[in-house]
Chains A and B, each alone.
Chain A
């Protein structure tokens, strides 16, 4: 069974954490992965930094800028992940913008991901239709899942289409916004979470954007199978050491 499917086969709700590789320090990638796994996190999204992350709010933008300044590159990240599967057994997803992957070469990029034990990719600016026409075969050849986003504005028809192409999970963007931590969800979000749950999609959904604490994690996972925390975790890392990561996770659940 694919590592991501195995994670969703459990009964409990999933907690997934996003961080920008190369931030706060260039060599923090492996220690962060280890601490997150040891803290009981179910899945990790490793952010490949990009100069122009247009779907991200200020926190992730700044972490990406710092990571690039620190010297992070696609090749550097792959080198850091060379033996990652000796230690990390939870699903690992790379999340990044399309251009750096295109420049690496999609064939080479996917082959490298497979050899390192990466389970899937999230590429916000690679639309579903282009993926389906040009890259799906390649991804499947390398055992990589490609996860897509839906938003409160996504039509039911399009959600059904995305569900039909999806594997692993669907990334539910919590509200019409770029990434960024919020303290609570409003009625509109809860109605949206319920609406999607009622659609009974084949692919499980996890909620991202705006999850920052136990309250938002709880609210997001009433109807969805899990939640992703990014900006709030990145902010935590700016003020705390990697060794303190268990404190952050224990506040969430």
Chain B
């Protein structure tokens, strides 16, 4: 494996577990057990049964004919937006809740930015009858009221993170502090391929179902199991990690990662971590992150709450530095326009995060016989208010 995690939890220069001693027993327990537990036939059966019967997998690989015609190439959408709860996030929470049960944990904590991971966590906790506490930045609670209500309906307690900038990174800090305070009975379900090893690898493995299905589906409709390009949006990077996973070491597949430029790379209001970040430590992982010269973590901006994380998963930092993946950043306006385009050309209203990825079609030229797979990672229901305000609908 050239691009996947090594035995020490690193992707090239990035990854590792830079954690306070208070977290060591928890993280070490996970590190020692995640592979052996998830490899058992029993776990695999429970996981796959729930993905099929509860999440609704496999999700379709849909040939987008009108888009393909307009851009004169072959465009497929991996329809993660059709997952239960509306995005790929639930693939990971199903995996982690099963793991938590095997580890004997009876309390779940999670962080959430836009609320999608919080909803996916609250959902699986309701499914399993396990106590659930979701940390969410106080500012995000105001901005994402419908998802707060969904989590409450599902029986989760939503706790406001009042520290720092009161957004996703602070919610993550609060969840980590909760874990420090409750080291024995609690499992922390991180929502992206971030955090200390083994989280980035564990979350990527649970999300890898996306590319495993894509391989089978492409083989059926194209006679080969790989496309020429895989394209996904990257905040922390879990949907991208899932789509790239089985193609990481296939040199025939070009990998494109799309970050949120916000109001523009140089505007001071952006979330394009690869362009603006430097190597450092965030939430227990060595990776690229947006920070001041003095090493203080800065607050990113994007119109999509799911992409405004100041770091990026260590896998993606490695894909960027090694040039295995091509990183492109897309500003708010183009992403919003693509939200409308995809709606009107394919009848699919995407999450704003997802819409960013499609802007690659205006930036890069593709050949008529090339096969492109986009991760259609989430649906736009949660973003309706933002779309309404933006387009004066």
Contact = CB atoms under 8 A, between A and B. Distances in A.
Interface stretch (A28-36, A50-58, A138-146, A193-201): A50-58
A149 B177 contact: no
B278 A103 contact: yes
A177 B163 contact: no
A57 B25 contact: no
Contact of A125 (B18, B170, B294, B297): B18
B22 A99 contact: no
A154 interface: yes
Contacts of A108: none
A236 interface: no
A17 B281 CA distance: 27
Interface in B1-39: 16-22, 24-25
Interface string B134-165: 00000000000000000000000000000110
B282 interface: yes
Most chain B C-beta atoms within 10 Å of own C-beta, residue among A53, A54, A98, A127: A54
Given A54-B173, A98-B18, A154-B24, A125 B296 contact: no
B67 interface: no
A127 B183 contact: no
A151 B278 CA distance: 32
B182 A54 contact: no
Chain A interface size range: 35 or more
A40 interface: no
A165 B211 CA distance: 44
B14 to A, nearest CB: 13
B15 to A, nearest CB: 12
B172 to A, nearest CB: 8
A202 to B, nearest CB: 18
B180 A51 contact: no
Contacts of A158: 24
A150 B22 CA distance: 7
Given A51-B296, A99-B280, A102-B295, A150 B180 contact: no
Interface string B175-193: 0110011111000000000
Given A125-B19, A176-B180, A52 B169 contact: yes
Contacts of A99: 280-282, 291, 295, 297
B382 to A, nearest CB: 26
Contacts of B282: 52, 99
B21 A102 contact: no
A50 B177 CA distance: 15
B392 to A, nearest CB: 37
A98 B20 CA distance: 10
B25 A153 contact: yes
A216 B215 CA distance: 61
Contacts of B293: 103
A19 interface: no
Given A98-B281, A103-B278, A176-B182, A124 B21 contact: yes
Contacts of A128: 21
Interface in B289-321: 291, 293-298
Interface in A56-80: 56-58, 61-62, 65, 68, 73-75
Contact of A65 (B24, B163, B184): B163
A240 B181 CA distance: 30
B296 A127 contact: no
B20 A149 contact: yes
A74 B21 contact: no
Contacts of B291: 99, 103
Contacts of B173: 52-54
Contacts of A74: 294-295
B60 interface: no
B165 to A, nearest CB: 8
Given A99-B280, A99-B291, A100-B295, A150 B164 contact: no
A148 B170 CA distance: 25
Contacts of A130: 16, 18
Contact of B21 (A68, A97, A150): A150
Contacts of A150: 21
A125 B20 contact: yes
A252 interface: no
Interface string A174-213: 0011100000000000000000000000000000000000
A47 to B, nearest CB: 14
A125 B281 CA distance: 9
Contact of B176 (A54, A68, A104, A149): A54
Given A125-B18, A128-B21, 13 more contacts: A51-B164, A52-B282, A54-B176, A54-B283, A55-B22, A75-B294, A99-B295, A99-B297, A125-B281, A126-B18, A127-B19, A154-B24, A176-B181
Enumerate the 7 nearest inter-chain pairs by beta-carbon distance, A residue then B residue, closest first.
A103-B295, A100-B295, A149-B21, A51-B296, A124-B20, A55-B20, A99-B281
